[in-house]
Amino acid sequence: MSVFQGGAGFSRRGFLIGTGGLAATVALVACGSSDDKAAPASSGPWEFTDDRGQKAARDQRPTRVVAYVSSAAALWDYGVRPVGVFGPQKTADGGKEIQAGNIDLGAVTSIGNAWDDFSMEKFAATKPDLVITGLTGAKPTDLWVLKDDLGPKVQQVAPIVAMSEYKVTLPKVIERYEQLAVALGGDANSDVIKKGKEDFQKASDDLKAAIKAKPGLKVLVVSSDKDNLYVCKPEFFADLAYYRDLGLDIVNGAGTDDYFETLSWEQAGKYPADLILTDSRTYALSRPQLAAIPTWAQLPAVKASQLADWSTEPRFNPVLAAPVIRKLTEVVKGARTDITA
């Protein structure tokens, strides 16, 4: 939504490396009114207050932006094109990471291609005048990649804007990225964005209707590694929190840790569910790998093939988010509700 600073050292995105509401939907669709047209060229002071309440200020609007890959993808479709990106952009086989969205990776400088990879030399060479990343916790220092002593070093070169992904629903995150995009000269009224908002609203309406048509459907969302099963806590994930607001009954993991409850594989059956959404990242276990774990294979939902993919990687603009919601709608429509009955 750093190697994640949530509980138990477990990272929402990089655990293998390191180991709003419905009203907001209306606000999202309403965003991009005639007052939000692309900003003219700025010749005066520029400032933006981020989700930590910290103000970034420049003598004029920043034009050389370096951004965490998910943030860059959120801004890209508004016409804001960062000069550099950091965080996972390419897979091991050279493909594009899903969180890179529509970014033209050939047109940007890679500052690092992992959560623990950031080259200060490459960063400085881009001559940045603003840095954008995600805020993943309650502390101002809970930043993607720019953790520990790296954040202060980066801050010495250019101000950091942090956009919250922590305990906030998807429409609100999208709305905030749109505000930032417009502040950076992006266009919230382009044909691409207008269609994205229409698609997002329709996809949300369709998902809500599909959920209503499947009363009693209980959903478990998990990630995994060879040692543990990780049960998601919806309130910490912008997309899951939004789906829950739309009526989806998602199991809520227990315990005090952020984002996940950690279970041993012997505890895999703790939460009965009709449908299980499994982490589709390369960092998590694949379906064949999961199938080889006896306690997983015996779960009623697994036996019934009531499984679907879920990615923790964010889609923080309507263009990117709408297709994800449409896919989930089809999954819900095809799901059985009698597995836990």
- Please give the backbone phi and psi of residue 198, each rounded to the nearest 5 degrees, phi first: -60, -45
Taking only Cα atoms into account, the Rg of the chain, rounded to an integer number of angstroms, comes to: 20
Residue type, 287: R
Q: At what angle do helices 170-183 and 318-334 cross, to 10 degrees?
A: 160
Whether residue 153 is predicted with pLDDT greater than 60 in this model: the reply is yes
With residue 122 as reference, give the H or E element that holds it: helix 120-125
Whether residue 40 is predicted with pLDDT greater than 80 in this model: the reply is no
How confident is the model at residue 43, as a pLDDT?
Answer: 63
> How would you classify residue 236: left for phi > 0, otherwise alpha for psi between -120 and 50, otherwise beta?
alpha
User: How many of the other CB atoms lie within 10 Å of CB of 41?
Assistant: 8
Cross-strand pairs, 218: 249
How confident is the model at residue 18, as a pLDDT?
Answer: 33
Give 87-95's long-range contacts (Cβ < 8 A, gap of 24+): 87/112, 87/113, 87/114, 87/115, 87/144, 87/145, 88/13, 88/113, 88/114, 88/115, 89/113, 91/282, 92/282
Q: Which of 282, 318, 7, 281 minimizes the C-alpha distance to 137?
A: 7
Whether residue 296 is predicted with pLDDT greater than 60 in this model: the reply is yes
Question: How large is the average pLDDT for residues 128-149?
Answer: 93
Question: How large is the average pLDDT for residues 132-139?
Answer: 93
How confident is the model at residue 190, as a pLDDT?
Answer: 98
CA angle 278, 279, 285 (to 5 degrees): 90
How confident is the model at residue 115, as a pLDDT?
Answer: 81
Residue type, 16: L
User: How many of the other CB atoms lie within 10 Å of CB of 150?
Assistant: 16
Q: What is the pLDDT of residues 46-82, one digit of tens each?
A: 999 999 999 999 999 999 999 999 999 999 999 999 9
DSSP designation for 312 = -
Whether residue 19 is predicted with pLDDT greater than 90 in this model: the reply is no
Whether residue 25 is predicted with pLDDT greater than 60 in this model: the reply is no
Query: Which of 120-124, 164-168, 283-287 ranks highest by mean pLDDT?
Result: 120-124
Q: Helix (H, G, I), strand (E, B), or coil: what is residue 184? A: coil
Whether residue 283 is predicted with pLDDT greater than 80 in this model: the reply is no
Where is pLDDT greater, at 115 or 287? 287
Question: How large is the average pLDDT for residues 215-238?
Answer: 97
Structure tokens at 236: 């910490």
Q: Where in the chain is the domain with CATH 3.40.50.1980?
A: 46-187, 193-334
User: How many of the other CB atoms lie within 10 Å of CB of 266?
Assistant: 10
Whether residue 45 is predicted with pLDDT greater than 80 in this model: the reply is yes
Whether residue 236 is predicted with pLDDT greater than 60 in this model: the reply is yes
Q: What is the pLDDT of residues 242-273, one digit of tens each?
A: 999 999 999 999 999 999 999 999 999 999 99
**How far is the C-alpha of 269 from the C-alpha of 69, rounded, in Å?**
35
How confident is the model at residue 311, as a pLDDT?
Answer: 85
Mean pLDDT of the chain: 88
Question: Are residues 174 and 321 in contact, defined by beta-carbon separation less than 8 angstroms?
Answer: yes
How confident is the model at residue 281, as a pLDDT?
Answer: 81
Whether residue 113 is predicted with pLDDT greater than 70 in this model: the reply is yes
User: How many of the other CB atoms lie within 10 Å of CB of 109?
Assistant: 17
Straight-line distance from the first to the last Cα atom of the chain, in angstroms, rounded to the nearest whole number: 34
Per CATH, the number for 46-187 is: 3.40.50.1980
User: How many of the other CB atoms lie within 10 Å of CB of 91?
Assistant: 13
Torsion angle of alpha carbons 18, 172, 188, 200, nearest 10°?
Answer: 90
How confident is the model at residue 4, as a pLDDT?
Answer: 24
DSSP states along 202-266: HHHHHHHHHHHTSTT-EEEEEEE-SSEEEEE-GGGSHHHHHHHHTT-EE----SSSSSEEEEEGG
pLDDT confidence band for 340 (50 / 70 / 90): confident
DSSP states along 8-64: GG--TTTHHHH--HHHHHHHHHH-S-GGGSPPPPP-S-EEEE-TTSPEEEESS---S
pTM: 0.87
Torsion angle of alpha carbons 263, 269, 271, 275, nearest 10°?
Answer: 110
**How far is the C-alpha of 323 from the C-alpha of 50, rounded, in Å?**
28
Where is pLDDT greater, at 325 or 12? 325
Lowest mean pLDDT among 19-33, 42-56, 109-123, 316-330: 19-33
Question: How large is the average pLDDT for residues 82-89?
Answer: 96
How confident is the model at residue 59, as a pLDDT?
Answer: 96
Per CATH, the number for 193-334 is: 3.40.50.1980
